[in-house]
Amino acid sequence: MSAPALLVTAKAPVPGLAKTRLGASIGMAAAADVAAAALLDTLAAGEKFERRYVAMTGDVMAAARSHELREALRGWRVFAQCEGGFDQRLAHAHAWVANDAQCPVIQIGMDTPQVDAAMLQAVSDQISEGAEVVLGPASDGGWWVLGLADGHQASALIGVPMSSSMTFEHTRQALGVERVVLTQVLRDVDTIHDAHEVARAVPQSRFAQALAQSALVAGGVR
C-alpha cells in the first residue's frame, strides 16, 4: 500500500469570518491572526508527507498573515472546497485527494495546532499496517483526524451532523467499520478557554505566541 496523503481542510483566516467564537473574546482581527498561526503550525506538522493537500474555503489574499500563509503553502496542492454543508465538503475533499493521489488519505483541520509530526506519522503507520479507518476523538465530542485506507469511504459522512457533541459517535457508526482504530483525544480550539488550554500544551507554537500577543494588545484578556 502506498503511503497516505495528508489533507488539511482549512478556512482562510479572514477577520470576521474565521474563529468568530474566539473573536467574541479577543476581537475578530486577533482571532483571525490566531487562526492563521494555528494553520501555520498545522502545515508545519505535515511537511514530511510527500503528498500534501489543502482543501480551502475563503480568500487567502484577504486573510491574516496572508504572505506567510502563501509561502507556507508552497509545496502543497491547494484546491477549493465544494459548496454545501461541512459533511458534503469533507466527503468531496477526501474523494478529490483519493482520485488525485491514488493512495490512502489522512485528513485534519486547523483547530488543533498542538498536532505534531509524530502524531500524524502514527496515523500514517496505522493505515499502512492495514487499518481501514483511524479516527481521533476530540474532547468536545467531535474528531480531529480521520484516516481512511480508501478516501472514497468518506461519502459515509454525508448526513452526519458536524459540530455536535455526538459527531464522533455518529461518524464511527456511519463509517460502518467493525474495528475503527482510535488515537489519543485532543482538544480543538473554539473558545478562549480552549485556546488557553491548547496554548499551555504547546507554549513554543506560533499559535501560543499569537494568543499571548492578542492578550497584550487587548490589555490582558483572559
Question: What pLDDT is stored for residue 219 in this prediction?
Answer: 55
Does the predicted model carry a pTM greater than 0.85?
A: yes
Mean pLDDT of 137-143: 96
- Cα-based angle 125, 130, 132 (whole degrees, multiple of 5): 100
Q: Residue 154: which CATH number? A: 3.90.550.10
Q: In this structure, what are the phi and psi dihedrals at residue 136, rounded to the nearest 5 degrees? A: -110, 110
Question: What pLDDT is stored for residue 178 in this prediction?
Answer: 81
Mean pLDDT of 124-147: 96
Q: Which residues contact 25 (CB under 8 A, 6 or more apart)?
A: 191, 192, 221
pLDDT by residue (tens digit) across 55-105? 999 999 999 999 999 999 999 999 999 999 999 999 999 999 999 999 999
Question: What pLDDT is stored for residue 217 in this prediction?
Answer: 62
Residue 121 has pLDDT above 50, yes or no: yes
pLDDT by residue (tens digit) across 189-222? 999 999 999 999 999 999 999 999 987 665 544 4
Mean pLDDT of 30-53: 98
Question: What pLDDT is stored for residue 218 in this prediction?
Answer: 58
Q: Is residue 114 part of a domain?
A: yes
Question: What pLDDT is stored for residue 222 in this prediction?
Answer: 41
Structural domain containing residue 160 = 5-217
Mean pLDDT of 120-138: 97
Query: Whole-number mean pLDDT of the chain?
Result: 95
For the chain, how many structural domains are there in total?
A: 1
| Strand, coil or helix: 57 | strand
Query: Cα 57 from chain centroid?
Result: 13
Instruction: Check residue 14 and give left, alpha or beta (phi > 0: left; psi -120 to 50: alpha).
Output: beta
Q: Is residue 222 part of a domain?
A: no
Q: Is residue 102 part of a domain?
A: yes
Adjacency order of strands within the sheet including 181-182 = 77-80, 52-57, 5-11, 105-108, 143-148, 133-137, 181-182
